[in-house]
Copies of this chain bind each other. A is one copy, B any other.
């Protein structure tokens, strides 16, 4: 034990850390326009995973990009007809450590309304104004943003890696680690096949550290790393009124209202302050460690700024991240009846709503699903999992159909004092010139839990996208400066990590 410690100390001394950041920056200054051109072409490739041909086109493109940079590649699929995870590997002669880099190249569904420009025809804007950046002279303004689905979540991480490899090569800087890459193609669908793919390729993916490149940076604009992600399980509920729409004047005092039933059902599940009212849901929540508490307390206060930016008159907790180690119950959507010019004074036939629950370490999706259904039953609801027939509807006063989302994932969290995690923190600290912020767990989710568990590997999340990138929403964007900085961060992770 003592020898190992000495040995580590020796390596750290023998290879004095030298960040490649200045070299990478100089290279980037000379290549900004080409970089933006390349990224625009990448974003222009539609990437919603429900359209297989689209994600396949991205996967083929990325394989080619990796091969051109000396990687051996494979497309890993759970089965024909499912999106591919792009795998790439490049050994570094003499390197002792292997780092597995994860990112995803698929994007959230684009939504129907409110995109100022088309989601797959990227444009650059200065504020609200489109910029003709190809004709502009001088360096590109780092505060300009590129708009399109996937810009921030998560093609930015993929592009940063590709460009970091280019920069290092151009400046003759050798990576310090063996590089493995997995770029997933259905993260935004809940990673339904990632676990299967990883379990089937355990040896291929073996590594000493997993770097998860996803999610937004800290709202202060400072670099931040995280040590895990929350899990998620989602579902849709349908409650039933009459089997055809009825005039609410004639029937409203006699026929139950699906709108009211859905509203009251939701009210039974969460209060106005965000507390989940489903019995037992907090039972398995792990207590905070002292390191978690310290890291949370060290995060710069950005809450007043955010509140003003979002124009909200109250918040559910004082500090933004304090709720991340608790489960969160989100109502994604509620729909019943027509509004506007099509509004009718009618009782609708059904009300639908959809939900996701963000899970924390120790919570099992299956147990949470049980708790939800037990709660529904406890509220007097007869729970079904398919459309109830007339006999069923007649036999039960209150019927709710529950459809669980196909993908679900557990939370995952690496202890903050793990050595590999320390190496990431130090590398990024040297790249950016200040101590990196540490978020004990990201508020978002990913299928990464299954990867971490299958590979038994420490994990650190590295984010490069601006926090206000509208990820998962319309007008998703990436600040150009965040891409530039991201390239330096990735170059550091490739060439300046030792443990």
- Which residues from chain A sit less than 8 Å from chain B, CB to CB? 50, 108-112, 215-216, 230, 232, 234, 236, 240-257, 259-267, 270-272, 274, 303, 307-308, 310-317, 320, 322-324, 326, 328-339, 341-348, 351-354, 356, 358, 390, 393-399, 442-445, 467, 470-475
Contacts and interface: CB of A to CB of B under 8 A. Distances in A.
Contact of A255 (B316, B346, B395): B316
A307 to B, nearest CB: 7
Contact of A260 (B248, B270, B352, B445): B270
Given A244-B310, A312-B393, A395-B313, A252 B346 contact: no
Q: Which 7 A-B pairs have the closest CB atoms?
A: A253-B323, A333-B337, A249-B444, A259-B331, A245-B473, A314-B397, A263-B266
Given A244-B310, A253-B443, A343-B354, 17 more contacts: A108-B344, A242-B310, A248-B358, A255-B312, A255-B316, A259-B266, A259-B333, A262-B263, A308-B394, A311-B390, A313-B398, A314-B398, A331-B337, A332-B345, A333-B339, A334-B335, A334-B336
Contacts of A331: 257, 259-260, 263, 336-337
Contacts of A261: 272
Contact of A248 (B109, B328, B343, B345): B328
Given A274-B253, A326-B253, A262 B393 contact: no
Contacts of A467: 250
30 contacts: A108-B344, A108-B345, A109-B342, A112-B338, A215-B250, A216-B247, A232-B249, A243-B310, A247-B473, A248-B332, A250-B444, A253-B317, A253-B443, A256-B312, A259-B334, A259-B353, A260-B270, A260-B271, A261-B272, A264-B267, A311-B394, A312-B393, A313-B396, A314-B397, A331-B336, A331-B337, A333-B337, A333-B338, A334-B337, A344-B472
